[in-house]
Amino acid sequence: MSEAPASTAFTPRVFSGIQPSGGLTLGNYLGALKRFVTMQDEAYQTVYCMVDMHAITVWQDPAKLTAATRELCAGFIASGIDPERSILFNQSQVPEHAQLAWIFNCVARMGWMKRMTQFKDKAGKNAENASLGLFAYPALMAADILVYHATHVPVGEDQKQHLELTRDIATKFNHDYGVDFFPLTEPVIEGAATRVMSLRDGSKKMSKSDPSDMSRINMTDDADTIAAKIRKARTDPDALPSEADGLAERPEARNLVNIYAALADMTVDAVLRDVGGKPFSEFKPMLSELAVSKLSPISAEMARLVAAPDEIDRILSRGAEQARDIARPIVEKTYDIVGMVR
Ligand code: AMP
Ligand code: TRP
């Protein structure tokens, strides 16, 4: 495929989203939210979204969706996203996402969509019964990003393929219409915990949809629950190695060390210099203490914010207006490029 213009021609702008499809997990925090906060402090305009339209690609109870959207907004703010410095909003309140998504449905090819592994995982064995929205999900995600001409997208490892598709859509649109209109967005997948694994199975991603609550740490878990989950986390019988190579064939040990490193803002090597040779019976209490000290202030602040839904709704309405100010002219220009009369 021909190369479209490099994203450097566009003003640096960060976009990312999280689905309000259940509570936030430690995976979301370390793989996404923590990075969102640091990017807010760097030289980017930052735009962060609760992607409720993505959430309904699988069934969501309406009352729970509303509550989860507000709780997620509280989670963003409690983690350090400042609505005065970042645009923070809910996807369905900005109709331009759906408008651009339709155009992208007509740009993306069936063959590209059929290769998406997240669709295959989520649809499972009964793909015939999956919603059309679940299949089209990555085109909506491309629209989320490109409706802001975002140049950088911080995400966990699992979203890499969707970001490649976003670049393919931008490239094909630019090529088909002979324009340099959409940037080629860069994924930002960095840090020790871009793929936090289940506490019960080191080969599975920690996920809010895992049937076992023991598999994950939720951002709303209290100190005792966090400690119990870490105590019961699956490990192997050996002591911790002194170097990262020693974790290669030990997925559960590697996961706990990665979590420690990400929470402590240390490298894995630095963590292993401190804990190499210790048995898990010593390391796990250290990890619990660190996790509780980092997560308790966040969950306390989330609880405070969730108790004030009006304040949250005000933040979301204001965020949606700010988002629309950027998105509207980009959709209008897209319609002009495509030849739609408006
Ligand atoms: P989701 O909850 O699927 O909407 O994911 C929101 C963000 O969190 C995305 O950037 C994901 O890549 C990231 N994320 C979700 N689960 C994990 C995990 N277990 N490890 C690292 N990042 C994750
Ligand atoms: N697909 C992402 C996930 O499941 C959520 C998402 C939707 C997103 N739109 C986005 C992430 C745009 C980054 C940019 O995690």
> For residue 30, what is the domain's CATH number?
3.40.50.620
pLDDT at 43: 78
Give the C-alpha separation, 286 to 332, whole Å: 54
Report the residue among 94, 144, 148, 194 best suited for mutation to probe ligand 2: largest number of ligand atoms under 8 A from its CB.
144
Q: Worst-scoring range by mean pLDDT, 2-6, 69-73, 301-305, 332-336?
A: 2-6
pLDDT at 8: 53
In this prediction, residues 329-341 reach a mean pLDDT of 98
* Dmax (CA) of the chain: 69
Find the domain containing 92 and state its range: 13-194+309-338
CA dihedral 221, 222, 224, 230 (to 10 degrees): 30
pLDDT, tens only, 168-209: 999 999 999 999 999 999 999 998 899 999 999 999 999 998
* CA-138 nearest atom, ligand 2: 1
Residues 269 and 175 in one domain: no
Question: Is residue 261 assigned to a domain?
Answer: yes
The ligand with the least distance to the CA atom of 72 is: 1
From 122, 160, 278, 294, the catalytic residue: 122
22: confidence class by pLDDT, cuts 50, 70, 90: confident
1: confidence class by pLDDT, cuts 50, 70, 90: very low
Residues 54 and 162 in one domain: yes
pLDDT, tens only, 126-152: 899 999 999 999 999 999 999 999 999
Q: How far, in Å, from the CA of 25 to the mean position of ligand 1? A: 8
The ligand with the least distance to the CA atom of 33 is: 1
Residues 21 and 109 in one domain: yes
Q: Is residue 7 scored above 80 in pLDDT? A: no
Residues 286 and 322 in one domain: no
Phi, psi torsion values for 49, nearest 5 degrees: -135, 140
Q: What percentage of residues in the chain have a pLDDT greater than 90?
A: 94
pLDDT at 2: 41
Residues 6+ apart with CB under 8 A from 278: 239, 240
Residues 176 and 274 in one domain: no
Active site residue 208: yes
Residues 64 and 90 in one domain: yes
Q: Which residues pair with 88 in a beta bridge?
A: 48
Give alpha helix (H) positions in the chain.
26-28, 34-40, 52-55, 62-79, 96-105, 110-114, 117-123, 132-146, 160-177, 223-231, 251-264, 268-275, 280-306, 309-338
Per-residue burial over 243-262, b if 16 or more Cβ lie within 10 Å, else e, is ebebbeebbbbbbbbbbbbb
Residues 102 and 36 in one domain: yes
Q: Is residue 3 scored above 70 in pLDDT? A: no
- What number of other Cβ atoms are within 10 A of residue 125's Cβ? 6
CB 188 within 8 A of CB 178: no
Residues 147 and 283 in one domain: no
pLDDT, tens only, 28-58: 999 999 999 999 999 789 999 999 999 999 9
Cβ of residue 122 lying under 6 Å from some atom of ligand 1: no
Cβ of residue 27 lying under 6 Å from some atom of ligand 1: yes
From 64, 160, 208, 294, the catalytic residue: 208
| Number of domains comprising the chain | 2
Extract long-range pairs of 264-267: CB within 8 Å, 24+ residues apart.
264/290, 267/192
Give the C-alpha separation, 157 to 140, whole Å: 19
Residues 159 and 33 in one domain: yes
Residues 42 and 167 in one domain: yes
Question: Is residue 273 assigned to a domain?
Answer: yes
Give the C-alpha separation, 226 to 200, whole Å: 14
Active site residue 205: yes
Question: Is residue 207 assigned to a domain?
Answer: no
Question: Is residue 204 assigned to a domain?
Answer: no
